[in-house]
A and B are shown apart, each in its own frame.
Chain A
Amino acid sequence: MSENSEHLWEIKPKSGLLDLKLKDTWEYRDLLLLLVRRDFVSFYKQTILGPIWFFIQPLLTTIMFTFVFGNLAGISTDGLPKPLFYMAGITAWNYFADCLTKTSTVFKDNAGIFGKVYFPRLIMPLSIVVSNLVRFGVQFLLFLGVMIFYAVKGAEFHFTWAISLFPLVVILMAALGLGAGMIISAMTTKYRDLAFLITFGIQLLMYATTVIFPLSAAPEKYRWLIELNPMTSLIETFRYGFLGRGSFSWSSIGYSALATIVLLVGGIIIFNKVEKNFVDTV
């Protein structure tokens, strides 16, 4: 008890906009890990197939895309085996999309617990991002497996030095999903209808990235729109690093990083502002 006896605090109506409460959040890091563990354990216990589900979704999506976009529509895959091309995009996109959709409902999903106990609310979206990392890891292993399969078959692809940017790409995807998700979550507490927008909005957004087509195949007229999406350069970098195809440029990844930082900081500010009185509106 004595260690904190000089702990002074103040509760007031509004706090400074730029008070991100990061120190407070750091104090609760153990909670973050325990929440991740909870998500993982409860997922395991409730399903028979457990982590198999993590594989099924990207596999089926890849098969679908290969058939519809690759074979029927005949969209170029930059000379890569089609499933490999799509799976690279899907693996990366899924992580971002999961982070975004789960974060965007964080207030709704945790209304009960938020109404009863205080802890830095930022912990919840952060735990979502970390929990999803586990899922991403599993899907990434699947992607590596498919890569090995095609390497044995003699398909033409190779690693490039950009593979060293992989950790950065993952962090940026997480931060981007987190930032955008937090902004949406804050807005949905007031304007409920936004929640409906998200589920199909995220679907539409996927077509504005290079998941199903290489950037080189994008129509010239809309290319800027696709490049405007910060996810585009992340997927491109991911593909360039592991498969050696796609367009990589420092300026586009720099743009993504900048957009991510802006969204993340903005997201935290808005999230913290809403969090203070959110309990009164549910």
Chain B
Amino acid sequence: MSIAIKVEKLSKAYQLGEIGTGTISRDLERWFARVRGKEDPFLKIGQTNDRTNKGTSDIVWSLKDIDFEIKQGEAVGVIGRNGAGKSTLLKILSRVTAPTRGRITGKGRIASLLEVGTGFHPELTGKENIYLNGAILGMRKKEIKRKFAEIVEFAGVERYIDTPVKRYSSGMYVRLAFAVAAHLQSEILIVDEVLAVGDAEFQNKCLGKIKDVSEGEGRTVLFVSHNMAAVSRLCTEAILMDKGCLKQIGKPKEIIEVYTSINGNANEVVLPDNPYLQYLSINQVQDELEISCEYSSDITLNIPCLGFVISDSLGNPIFGTNPTYQPPVQKMLPSKKGTIKVRIKQPKLLNGIYGLSVWFGDGKSDFVRLKDVLTFEIINMVLYDKETYAHTSGPVSTIVDWNYNFHL
């Protein structure tokens, strides 16, 4: 089989912090260095992309020396923590942004789906938007015309095709947008997490379509997802990214195992300069969650009080509490220094990415507020099969007793 995508020494640097202040002088400095034939002074090697440590330079390598090859007809899943460089890789492949170094070569037209419904205009009808969106994604008008009936059928919006999309429900909107992208005539399809939207039935339909595309039509698929179940079901290969580097490439099952084992003990932050809270971590311990922290302050804290909120990947709070609402069994002792461990029993979170926000104080006021300070992933906390997953809504699984009283 021939090679569809070949990535060589691919690197991408991003500039952190303010852009737009003092850039003229900085540009001049860069230009001057180039004229003298020296290395760009703002691209220092040796900075890796680690969100938890604050780097000394404000250039961060979002991708560093990535090398891999993808054969034609393969479905490759890209996994990794948030900020591992997955999206950057896809952005470069989709030609939305250019790499800093290295190159990618390949064969065949690329259709990329970094977002559903890019360029949809609310005032235009479904039909007009199919044409516009198709053209934005690189289709010719005659191709769209040929596929039009198929797109409309896949989206299931026949009745509303001449209605402006601003009157569509969000589900219809997403279905229509995905339908256009799924019918692109390309040899390579790039998909980024778009499946996080839509109802379960439609998600399955999308996954099915992606599977058809790769297996049935022999097209190459590159798929970034946090949904391990989808990756293992769809993909023939998987790539694990970590801190901008390619960690491992191989069969999806192995890679997912490596990924989960790495993630089991990560998710911590050290705050040496914080006057109250110096360490914080959150871990999944089988079907429970554990938050740990270390505090040390100059003043005595009457009630060392750590409050927390767990939120979903969109930032919506799911649950949270603090010791004044749910007092500990232990007696609280005024102290300056100590550690706190919080065990969350039965959080029953479904697979996905969640955020942790914490507040820390003396029981009267909060001295530290850290919003979304940690991002963590839940993997197989709730044992489920495909059936139950598809029929559960929301991020939390519950145990339900049904009590029927039949009046026959």
Contacts and interface: CB of A to CB of B under 8 A. Distances in A.
Contacts of B102: 12-13
Given A4-B187, A191-B24, A46 B15 contact: no
A60 interface: no
A116 interface: yes
Interface in B75-131: 91-110, 112, 114-115, 118-119, 121, 123-124, 128, 131
B98 A276 contact: yes
B20 A31 contact: no
A248 to B, nearest CB: 41
A9 B106 contact: yes
A13 B95 contact: no
Interface stretch (A37-45, A83-91, A224-232, A258-266): A37-45
B14 interface: yes
Contact of B15 (A6, A7, A280): A280
Interface string A183-205: 00000001110000000000000
Given A114-B96, A192-B20, A279-B97, A41 B109 contact: no
A1 B140 contact: no
A148 interface: no
Contact of A8 (B19, B99, B106, B119): B106
Nearest to B217: A1
A34 B185 CA distance: 19
A146 interface: no
Contacts of B119: 113, 117
Contacts of A277: 97-98
A50 interface: no
Interface string A151-191: 00000000000000000000000000000000000000011
Interface string A1-30: 100111111111110000000000000101
Interface string A214-238: 0000000000000000000000000
Interface string A111-133: 01111111100000000000000
Given A117-B112, A280-B15, A13 B187 contact: no
B249 interface: no
Contacts of A117: 94, 96, 112, 114-115, 118-119, 136-137
Contact of B138 (A28, A45, A191): A28
B108 A116 contact: no
A4 B123 CA distance: 34
Interface residues of A, number: 39
A116 B100 contact: no
B132 A10 contact: no
A42 B121 contact: yes
B135 interface: yes
B98 A7 contact: no
A75 interface: no
B223 to A, nearest CB: 17
Given A118-B95, A276-B97, A113 B123 contact: no
A279 B138 CA distance: 19
A35 interface: yes
B167 interface: no
Contacts of A280: 14-15, 97
Contacts of A249: none
A10 B187 contact: no
A11 B109 contact: no
Interface in B206-230: 217, 219
Contacts of A118: 94-96, 112
B131 A1 contact: no
Nearest to A44: B123
A281 interface: yes
B23 interface: yes
Given A13-B103, A31-B135, 13 more contacts: A1-B219, A4-B108, A6-B107, A11-B105, A13-B98, A13-B100, A30-B141, A38-B132, A117-B114, A117-B136, A118-B94, A192-B20, A280-B97
Interface of A: 1, 4-14, 28, 30-31, 34-35, 37-38, 41-42, 45-46, 112-119, 190-192, 276-277, 279-281
27 contacts: A1-B187, A4-B108, A4-B187, A5-B108, A8-B107, A9-B106, A12-B98, A12-B99, A13-B100, A28-B138, A31-B136, A34-B132, A38-B121, A38-B124, A113-B118, A116-B96, A117-B94, A117-B96, A117-B114, A117-B136, A118-B96, A119-B138, A191-B20, A191-B24, A280-B97, A281-B19, A281-B20
List the 10 closest pairs (A to B, CB-CB), nearest first. A31-B135, A118-B95, A276-B98, A12-B103, A30-B141, A11-B104, A42-B123, A116-B118, A116-B115, A279-B97
